[in-house]
Amino acid sequence: MGDIGFAELLRERGIDCEKQRVVIMRHASSKFPDLFKYVGTKALTLYQSVQDFKLSPGNIVVGFFGHTPAKAVFLGVWIVKEVLDVSDALALGLLAESFEGTIGLSPHYHELEELPGFEDLRLKAEIPFFVEVRWKRDMGKEKIHYPVTMRSACLTPFINLANVSLMMSELRAAVAYMEWKEALCIPGIYLITDELSGQQYVGSASGGVGILQRWGDYIATGHGGNKLLEARLEKCPDAVNHFRFTLLERLKSTAMASVREKYWKRALGSRAFGLNAN
């Protein structure tokens, strides 16, 4: 992105830091070291919604993850719709899906709505973020130039085929990098786990470019043409961001795909208790 600053990037996408309040939050909690994996989920939205400071409707919240000292990687952009006392939010059940539970919360609840148009930057756009103790910044007041760079390496590095288990947000980001593309161009058996419901789906990929191609179908549609997954997403659209993709087995021969897929369905009970219809 060259020398473009983050304020300029926001302005190009319809948010002017001179005309509305824009607050950057850099999250780097040892309690939730995998927070970035939940990009796009309601849980991440709720994580940012309860604060000890009070914003106003119409204010903008920009979330970043502190993956390394003095830097931050982009998570998303939200607009404040409403502000409530946290006790009222709890009484209304608005924090039921929060990471943090319901005890010892800060006093202000902000109803946040994630804005579209920034998906291409998730877990890729990176800015410098010095002075670690100041995790929250007001862009309009501070007028700090944050040069934006696009990460050259995936936030989730490829280690080996025995350690391929990615949340949907990680998968979306990973397939943009050559190391992951090359690694996933294999025939194999895979598992999708819905971490909201605990249900599982076992599938195989033996044609084209294998796992890469098949998982790309899920990135594109969420359900990849599977009827039970499609029904699940009709009932709970947010579930797609809670899908975890795990490589169970690399196939030595594509002729073994059906046999090995049946084995894993039986072993994991995904027909009896999961999302496999047959």
- Give the whole-angstrom CA distance, residue 245 versus residue 211: 10
Taking only the tens place, the pLDDT of each residue in 170-200 is 999 999 999 999 999 999 999 999 999 999 9
pLDDT higher for 116 or 29? 116
Mean pLDDT computed over every residue of the chain: 92
Q: Which contiguous run of DSSP H or E holds residue 174?
A: helix 168-174
The tokens describing 49, both together, are: 């919604």
Least confident range from 100-104, 219-223, 249-253, 270-274: namely 100-104
pLDDT at 175: 94
260 close to 204: Cβ distance less than 8 angstroms: yes
Count of CA atoms in the C-beta half-sphere (13 A) of 108: 13
The Cα angle at residue 212 between residues 77 and 271, in degrees rounded to 5 = 95
Helix (H) or strand (E) holding 114, with range, is strand 108-114
Q: What is the pLDDT of residue 1?
A: 58
CA angle 193, 199, 203 (to 5 degrees): 55
Cβ neighbors of 119 (< 8 A, separation 6 or more) are 40
User: Which option is the CATH number for 161-268: 3.40.50.300, 3.20.20.210, 3.40.1440.10, 2.60.40.3880?
Assistant: 3.40.1440.10
Q: Per residue in 153-185, is it b (16+ CB within 10 Å) or e — as a string? A: ebbbebeeeeebebbbbbbbbbbebeebeebbe
- How far is Cα 60 from Cα 144, in angstroms, rounded to an integer? 17
pLDDT tens-digit map of 98-143:
877 777 788 999 999 999 999 999 999 999 987 655 688 898 887 7
DSSP per residue, 156-167: S----GGG-EEE
What local confidence, expressed as pLDDT, does residue 134 receive?
67
The per-residue pLDDT for 131 is 62
- The Cα–Cα gap between 76 and 13 comes to 13
Domain parsing of the chain, residue ranges: 6-150, 161-268
